[in-house]
């Protein structure tokens, strides 16, 4: 079993106080923080650039990952590393030369992740699994928080996990979109060990720390069920 990681999306956070929000997430026990980078083209929404991430870097020490929902990630890869991101996730659908882009991510000193939109099959990344540290299976169509979890992605999560394991690679499987108390078990049982959650963390009446612990316990229980 791969260790479970709980990774918040900052999309539901108060953008006027992002530094403090990052510190609060760290205090709540998260393992990493995901920055949802949207360019208004690859997805129909716009969020933030590397300068915002850099400004928040000094407010916490928990690792950052950048989920690059942009049409052309190559020119800005170094900017995200300079801003303090340790892991860069590019979408398989966003680049012409995925093999080259993933190799470039490692060249600029980051860990590499590759993301699959719901309609994209695992075969799209089968031949670059040796170049990544993580595969992100989107469980919603990217662009917005608060959407419903696509349980139809669970066979795909299992297929990605199988492709990785049959090659004996040290690669995590992350899921993102609609993850909460009622859905995290299905994703973890299918093979995901890194769980991104946005609205479910911020709507927990018992607070962030309770939400993080609850998701982690449910995922770990599902892994061993």
Instruction: Show which residues are catalytic.
Output: 36, 176
**Options 50, 73, 84, 177; binder of ligand DX5; rule CB under 6 A:** 177
Q: How far is the CB of 217 from ligand DX5 (least distance, A)?
A: 18
- The reply on whether position 197 binds ligand DX5 by CB under 6 A is yes
Chain centre distance of CA 168: 22
Q: 90 forms bridges with which residues in the sheet? A: 68, 114
- Residue 158 CA, chain-centre distance (Å), reads 17
Among residues 52, 59, 181, 199, the one that binds ligand DX5 under rule CB under 6 A: 199
194 φ, ψ (degrees, to nearest 5): -115, 120
145 binds ligand DX5 (CB under 6 A): yes
Q: What is the largest CA-CA distance in the chain?
A: 46
Q: Is 186 in the site for ligand DX5 (CB under 6 A)?
A: no
Instruction: Report the candidate in 55, 56, 83, 57 with the shortest Cα–Cα distance to residue 68.
Output: 83
Q: Does 211 bind ligand DX5 (CB under 6 A)?
A: no
Q: Which stretch binds ligand DX5 (CB under 6 A): 94-102, 116-124, 143-151, 206-214?
A: 143-151
Of the pair 133, 176, the CB lying nearest ligand DX5 is at 176
Question: Cβ closer to ligand DX5: 87 or 140?
Answer: 140
With 0-12 / 13-18 / 19 or more C-beta atoms within 10 angstroms meaning exposed / middle / buried, residue 189 is middle
Judged on CB neighbours under 10 Å (0-12, 13-18, 19+), 80 is: buried
Instruction: Classify burial at 46, counting beta carbons within 10 Å of its beta carbon; exposed 0-12, middle 13-18, buried 19 or more.
Output: exposed
CB of residue 165 to ligand DX5, shortest distance in Å: 25
Q: Which is nearer to ligand DX5, 22 or 107 (CB)?
A: 22
Please report how close the Cβ of residue 36 comes to ligand DX5 at its closest, in angstroms: 5
Rule CB under 6 A: choose which of 4, 5, 9, 160 binds ligand DX5. Answer: 9
Which two tokens mark 75? 């020119």
Q: Rounded to whole angstroms, how far apart are CA atoms 220 and 225?
A: 9
Contacts (CB under 6 A) with ligand DX5, residues 22-61: 34, 36
Binding site for ligand DX5 (CB under 6 A): 9, 11, 34, 36, 67, 140, 142-147, 176-179, 196-200
């Amino acid at each position: 079993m791969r260790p479970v990681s709980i990774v918040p999306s900052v999309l539901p956070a108060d953008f006027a106080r992002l530094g403090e929000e990052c510190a609060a997430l760290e205090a709540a026990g998260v393992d990493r923080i995901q920055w949802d980078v949207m360019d208004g083209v690859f997805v129909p929404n716009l969020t933030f650039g590397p300068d915002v991430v850099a400004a928040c870097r000094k407010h916490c020490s928990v690792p950052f990952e950048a989920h690059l929902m942009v049409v052309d990630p190559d020119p800005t890869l170094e900017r995200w590393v300079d801003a303090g991101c340790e892991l860069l996730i590019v979408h398989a659908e966003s680049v012409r030369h995925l093999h080259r882009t993933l190799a470039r991510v490692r060249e600029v000193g980051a860990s590499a992740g590759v993301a699959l939109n719901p309609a994209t099959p695992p075969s799209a990344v089968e031949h670059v699994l040796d170049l990544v540290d993580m595969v992100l299976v989107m469980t919603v169509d990217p662009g917005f928080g608060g959407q419903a979890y696509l349980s139809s992605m669970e066979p795909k999560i299992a297929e990605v996990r199988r492709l990785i394991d049959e090659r004996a690679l040290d690669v995590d499987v992350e899921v993102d979109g609609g993850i909460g108390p009622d859905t995290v078990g299905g994703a973890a049982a299918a093979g995901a060990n890194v769980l991104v959650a946005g609205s479910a963390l911020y709507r927990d009446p018992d607070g962030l720390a309770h939400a993080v612990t609850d998701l982690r316990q449910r995922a770990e229980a599902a892994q061993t069920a």
